[in-house]
Structures are given as C-alpha cells and as structure tokens.
Amino acid sequence: MTGKTTHILLVEDEEAHAELIRRAFQNQTSRMRLTIAGNLQEARAHLADTTPDLVIADLRLPDGEGSQLLPVDKESSPYPVVIMTSHGDEQVAVEAIKAGALDYVVKTDLALAAMPRVAQRALREWGYIIQRRKTERALRREKERFQVLVEESPLGISIIKTDGRYEYVNPKFIEMFGYTLEDIPTGKAWFKKAFPDRAYRKVAISTWIDDLQGSQCGESRPRTFNVMCKDGLEKIIYFRPVTLKSGDQFVICEDITDRKQAEEKQTQLEDQLRQAHKMEAVGQLAAGIAHDFNNLLTAINGFAALLQFEMSPDDPHQEFVEKILGSGQRAANLVSQLLAFSRKQIIKPQILSVNTAVADMDKMLRRIIGEHIQMKTILTPDLWYVKVDPSQIEQVIVNLAINARDAMPEGGRLLIETANVTLDDDYVSSHLGAQPGKHVLLAISDTGHGMSDEMKAHIFEPFFTTKEVGKGTGLGLATIFGIVKQSRGNIWVYSEEGVGTTFKVYLPRAAETGFPLPHTEVDEEMPSGSETILLVEDDAEVRRLTQRVLQGQGYTLLSAQNGQEAIQLAAQHPAPIGLLLTDVVMPGMSGKALAEKLSLIQPNLKMLFISGYTDNAIAHHRVLDPEVAFLQKPFSPKALSGKVRQVLDS
C-alpha cells in the first residue's frame, strides 16, 4: 500500500472514544483516511457506496452489534473487520473472531490511542490472508494452468507424492530454503535437513502426520515451524498443507520471519510499557503510604518550630525541641526518598543560569504557544546559578509552557519569572521534601481555565490530565515532577478555576565556588505590634498559622474564612482596625472586592494581600495593581511579621 491512501471505516457511537481514535490516526500518519459512523445504519450506508480497506467496529452499538457488519461468507469478505469490546465482553469478541472478524481490541484509553498500530497490523495480516486466499483458490480452480501460477507465486510451493517423494518445488521455495529437488528427494530427507535437532524434528513430524491423517481430503491445519535453511540460517515458516483428491500433498509456505521478529519486538516494548506502568503504580502506592506520615511530620515539625521560636535561647528544653526537629527532618527525608525511588534517569548536571535557558528559548517558546497568547518574561538580574541537566531544565520550561498554552485555547497571557529566594526552616517544616537555604525560583503563570482542588490533588500523578480526551497523555507534569525532584528541587502549583495557574519550581543554589556570592544578611528579630488585624483566609491551616504567629507578636486578630464573614466582623468590632490581611483569590468574594467594600466603612484601613501567585502574576491577572502591598505564599513567620509591620508603619 505504498503511496496509497488507506481508507478505514470506524463505527463507534461514543464521541470521546471516536475522537481519541481520530486524533491517534491524525498524529500517526497522513496515509490513512478515517471515516466515522455512529451506528450500523450509517455504516451500512457507507459500505453500500464504497469498500473500505479496513472496518473497525464497536461490539455494542445503539442499533445492533458491530459483528453484524461481518460478511455472510467470511472466505469472500471484501474487507477485514476488527471488533472493539469492553472488559467482560471478550468471550463475545472471540465468537466474532470465529465468525470472521480479523481481530478484537479491549477498549482502554491506551489501546484506543494505539489503534493506528492495530490497524497497520490488521492490514498487514489482511494482506497476507488475501494473498494466501488468492493463491490457494487459483491453485484449486486452475489446476491445468498451475505451472504458470506457482512459478510466479510469492509463496513457496511444493508437491509431495503419496509415497513421500518430492515431485515439485517452485522457484520461491528454492529461494526461501535453498534446497532443490536433488537436496530433498523425499520428505524424510527434507525433515532431516530442515529440522537438524532430533527432538524438534520428532515433534514436527508427529504434528505433520497427525494433521494430514485428520484432514483426509482438503486443507489441514496451518502450522508454523522454525526451519534450518541450506545456508545455515534459521527462518520462521508458515505452512499450509493441502491434501489433494489423489492423496498428494500440495504445501504452501511463507517466510514470516520478519513479521514474527517485529511482533516479538513489539511484545517486548509492550511488556516494558506495562512494567513502567506497574512501577508508576508502585510509586503511587508509596505516595499513599507516605501521605499519613506527611501529615504527622508537618504537625510535629511545624509546631516544634513555633515552640522553639517562642523559647528563650537558654531554655533547658531547647535541646529536646532540636532533637524533635532533627528527627522530624530525618523522617521527612526518608519519606522524600520513598516518593522519589523510581526516578532513576541518568542526568548530566552542569552549572548554569536559568535566565540564560529562558532567554535562549524565547523565540522557540513564542512559536510553540502561538500568536494568540501574549508572553512576557521577568528575569531577576544577578540570578544565582543552579546545578541541573541543561536538557532537563529546557524540558521543564517547554512542558510547562505547552501546558499553559493548552489551558488557554482562546488566547491569554503567559508570564515566565525567575527570582532568588531563601527557604528557611519555617518554610521547610510546612513543605515536605523542601530543604532550607538559597534557591532559584522559576515561576510560569497563565490566565487559563485553572484547576479545581480535586485536579490539583492529582496533577503530578502519571496519566492524570486536565485536558480533553486525546489532547494529553498525562505524562508531562509527572515527568517535570521527576526531573525537579532528581535535581533536589521542588515544584508547587497554585491555581483557581476561571483565574489561572502558577507553577513554581525551586532549584537549590549551586554549592560550587567560582561565582560571586552576595552579602549574607543577618537574621533580625520578628517585629511586633499592638494593632488590630482583620485576617481573611479560606485555607484553615494557613489561617491558623497566620493567626498564631501574629498573636504571638502582640497583635489583636479578627479571623474570617471568607469575605462576607469579614464584613460582619468589621461592622461589629467597636475599635478601629489597623490592617486588612486577606487572600486575593477566595470563593464567593475576592480579596480585591472585599478591600473595596471595607474601604467604604474605614477609608484609612491599610491593606496587605497574600496569594500563592507571584506578585507579578497577580498584576498579570489584573486582580491587583502592582503597587498594592503584597506577600507571596509560602511565607515564613519572619517574612509575615516583617511585611505586616512595614505596611502598618508606611
């Protein structure tokens, strides 16, 4: 079928499955033309007008079964049929095979995405069937002219007399095996040369005799044997003996070595894929086991850090708290190793600047995302160096950019940022797997459709995708997660439905010398105050931590979980409120809308906004103006108290 467009009729009533198969064929090759019918009636109408090269039909259709498309006489079928079936219907599919279907496929997303390969295999098999069918029918109908046919046949042909003598072998037989009539005058000589291993020869002879005795006049069962050729090469040969009325044997043979080797290779690849899936499943199991440990460690380490902060340096219990934190951190490291055990890819890390990687990829990224998306980069000057595999950091950037592009089919804005950040022990205690110290932040934000909390909970799991069927494999973010983890970094996602998504990648600063190091700032005490602060945060744990830290610094806290509750607290509170500390994106009422309402009640109310988005991304979303006071999550107690004091004193 070289140079020829193959016409395939797909009969499938489920639009999602049909779309997945259509996209698979679209991505696979342009030489296959797919026609889709939603039921038997449409399929029959199409078959009345044209004969396709292949029919792929779902077993269960609204107006019948796909097996009804099988021709009454399977030997004269003008086209091959592959049946698709759901789990549990395999036996029915086997019956369809007996009725004349070429193959069947159990429907899974992976199997449907691989349908082009199934079609190619079926078409190859159908080609062999058609070829054998034509040859065998021609031989039976045109005995008087068989000499011309067999001489030009692409299949090996031999005739064996009833006394066991070889009467004839065609040129293809000689080409295939190298043996002439002089080499194999009898069947006994043939078996001895073709099957030099005595045990295997015994099995071959026994099988051949049993088949012939059972067939009497007509075709016996086709068999496949490994045959030793005259040149010493072993080939896999398909034999179909035919017993003529005279008792002579007419044997057709076909060299299927290449096909069998290709099938074995494909089977090996499928086995490797199943093994990879199994390892991913084991990784998910490990993550599930680690989940409960993570909750315990977060509580132990977090509250131990707060306890240590409130204790005096000479407190005799400091040693015990340090031991708790040390043990908790070691436990967190063990859990991190458990989660990362399956990521064993070979990498070649180098010292590089993420700014350089982003700048070098600027033109390519703009071509990838398309003109309907505005891309902006904000790269921090004098960015610290990191030690990562250059190709892997490029893969991270490209995959995140593509993910953002797919989330904005109607267009939008893409923001790529870099920054130098320092993660302290307070941050580490609430972010499993993170390590304290200096890191480079790579943040990629979009204004797409965003994700729900349920989606975010599974976003890094392999084969989980928020995209439409056929538009994503679910492996991109899982790959990014593995790359970042193996580079000793971390990745976090912040997203709200209808607003957009920000992915933050934290990579540790390279420890190697040879680059100028900035001046290390001396830690200062956490500033305190006595003002009243209205805290509005929909996340209970963030709200509790923020309240605990600020109350510890002397502030009076009014705590609300949403905008409506905050307005009621402000109206009921008799004394002035010094600061509104609010999350930006919340259900029901945004932080911006809340600030506008409260400013009508207290015009002098100062405001500080917090969010999981970066400050540039917030302005990018047009939620807040860039000059508004903003604190980015995640923040440490020191960063929180310092920013609060700064805004109150401004």
CA distances from 300 to 293, 322, 324, 429, 567 (A): 10, 12, 8, 9, 35
Q: Which of 253-267, 377-391, 413-427 has the weakest average pLDDT? A: 253-267
Q: Which of 604, 563, 568 lies closest to 584 in space, CA to CA?
A: 563
φ, ψ of residue 89 to 5 degrees: the values are -105, 15
| Summary mean pLDDT of the chain | 79
Q: How far apart are CA 614 and CA 620, in angstroms?
A: 9
pLDDT in tens, 452-467: 877 877 677 655 665 5
Which one is predicted more confidently, 4 or 192? Answer: 192
- Cis peptide bond prior to 634, omega within 30° of 0: yes
pLDDT-derived band at 586, boundaries 50, 70, 90? confident
CATH homologous superfamily of 532-649 equals: Response regulator (3.40.50.2300)
pLDDT at 618: 61
Which one is predicted more confidently, 306 or 646? Answer: 646
pLDDT in tens, 65-95: 888 888 777 777 788 889 888 776 777 777 8
pLDDT at 555: 94
Question: Could you tell me the residue ranges of all domains in the chain?
Answer: 6-138, 143-255, 268-342, 343-516, 532-649
pLDDT at 345: 44
Angle at 98 (CA atoms; ends 95, 104), nearest 5 degrees: 65
pLDDT-derived band at 597, boundaries 50, 70, 90? very high
Q: Do domains 143-255 and 343-516 have the same CATH topology?
A: no
pLDDT at 522: 36
CA distances from 27 to 7, 24, 30, 105, 554 (A): 16, 5, 8, 20, 63
For the cut 50, the answer to whether the pLDDT of residue 518 exceeds it is no
With contact defined as beta carbons under 8 Å apart, do 136 and 242 qualify?
A: yes
Q: Report the pLDDT averaged over residues 123-152.
A: 75
With contact defined as beta carbons under 8 Å apart, do 163 and 139 qualify?
A: no
Q: Which of 332, 310, 388, 346 lies closest to 549 in space, CA to CA?
A: 310
CA distances from 574 to 102, 569, 637 (A): 82, 10, 28
Q: Which of 214, 176, 208 lies closest to 191 in space, CA to CA?
A: 208
CATH second-level architecture of 143-255?
2-Layer Sandwich (3.30)
pLDDT at 491: 84
Q: Identify the DSSP state of 60.
A: E
Residue-wise burial string across 257-291, b where 16 or more C-beta atoms lie within 10 A, e elsewhere: bebbeeeeeeeeeeeeeeeeeeebeebeebeeebe
Most confident residue range from 169-183, 499-513, 635-649: 169-183
CA distances from 56 to 12, 75, 125 (A): 8, 19, 14
pLDDT in tens, 415-450: 999 999 988 877 676 666 678 889 999 999 999 888
The reply to whether CATH 3.30.200.20 applies to domain 6-138 is no
For the cut 80, the answer to whether the pLDDT of residue 147 exceeds it is no
Q: Which of 153-167, 211-225, 394-408, 620-634 has the weakest average pLDDT? A: 211-225
Q: Report the pLDDT averaged over residues 291-308.
A: 62
Q: Which of 37-46, 245-254, 289-298 has the weakest average pLDDT? A: 289-298
Q: Which of 433-442, 484-493, 532-541 has the weakest average pLDDT? A: 484-493
Which one is predicted more confidently, 541 or 579? Answer: 579
pLDDT-derived band at 278, boundaries 50, 70, 90? very low
pLDDT at 612: 59
Q: Which CATH number, 1.10.3720.10, 2.40.50.100, 3.30.565.10, 3.40.190.10, labels domain 343-516?
A: 3.30.565.10
pLDDT at 146: 62
Q: How far apart are CA 65 and CA 81, in angstroms?
A: 13
Q: What percent of the chain has pLDDT over 90?
A: 18
Q: Report the pLDDT averaged over residues 513-538.
A: 67
244 SS3 class: coil
pLDDT-derived band at 485, boundaries 50, 70, 90? confident
